[in-house]
Amino acid sequence: MQREGALKIPVIAANNARCKQLFDNRYGTGQSTLTAVMSATNLLIAGKTTVVAGYGWTGRGLAFYARGFGARVIVVEVDPVKALEALADGFAVMSLAEAAPLGDLFLTATGSIGVLRREHFQRMKDGALLANAGNYAHEIDVPALRQLAREEREVRRHVTEYVLRDGHRLHLLAQGALVNIVASDGHPVEIMDLSFSVQALAVHYLAQHADELKPGVVPLPDEIDFAIARTRLELLGVRLEKTTAEQEAYQQSWREP
């Protein structure tokens, strides 16, 4: 919108705040997505090959929580650096075409559209589970799944079974919408404390600086992220280390002391 001049007001990208991404996207979505899959299906995660599409903050959370529950995790990425990071984190990395016949559970968190689509559905195992934790209802191509299916029925609450023409069954959770919100309680409250603090303080900042801000995307000032994290740490009784005057001077200078 900014590029095309369509953005008429200043907007803070609250999602990009560190107190949002590092906690809500990673730990909140990681925990609540796995608990949603477990409660919707009543199946075991341990031993399941779990394919995570997207290794951003959300995908990292999904991959680590799935591994914590005993899954074998495969990561699918388009960004070479993130793919390398996933490898270094100990996950298998491959294309979705390669992962499609291997996965028992597929989790999408790319923020994009049509990530799991016809060509993948056709190669998946009988009984594979599909769930989205990323971009609303667009990451799994549900219309294509419907077209491929000869039967569709709700086998459990939040689990729709699609019987493909060759008899393979695929199980879609929460109709392809955000599984952790639809089929579970969403993020834990400690996570929402942080996310709502980001949003509330972002609005406060916009109101305070309304006269000087121009239309466009405004980053959340670091001081707001720091203030939120500091408050949480204080509540947890955790003390921060302070830099000494000598360290401060050293870090500001290029000269050897």
Binding site for ligand NAD (CB under 6 A): 21, 24-25, 29, 53-59, 76-79, 82, 109-112, 115, 133-135, 178, 180-181
The beta-strand segments (E) located in 41-121 are 49-53, 72-76, 92-93, 105-108
Closest CA to 29 of 65, 55, 78: 65
Least CB distance to ligand NAD at residue 7 (A):
19
Residue nearest to ligand NAD (CB): 56
Phi first, then psi: what are they for 72, rounded to 5°? -90, 120
Least CB distance to ligand NAD at residue 171 (A):
19
Phi first, then psi: what are they for 105, rounded to 5°? -135, 130
Least CB distance to ligand NAD at residue 134 (A):
4
Cβ proximity to ligand NAD: between 96 and 224 the closer is: 96
Least CB distance to ligand NAD at residue 115 (A):
5
Residue positions counted in the chain:
257
Cβ proximity to ligand NAD: between 29 and 160 the closer is: 29
- Please state, as a whole number, how many other Cβ atoms lie within 10 Å of the Cβ of residue 188: 15
Least CB distance to ligand NAD at residue 20 (A):
8
Cα dihedral across residues 156, 157, 163, 169: positive or negative: negative
Cβ proximity to ligand NAD: between 138 and 149 the closer is: 138
Closest CA to 61 of 81, 92, 89, 84: 89
Cβ proximity to ligand NAD: between 97 and 210 the closer is: 97
Cβ proximity to ligand NAD: between 51 and 149 the closer is: 51
Least CB distance to ligand NAD at residue 35 (A):
12
Cβ proximity to ligand NAD: between 28 and 104 the closer is: 28
Tokens standing for 204? Answer: 């406060």
- In the Cβ-directed half-sphere of 212, how many Cα atoms lie within 13 Å? 3
- What are the beta bridge partners of residue 178? 132
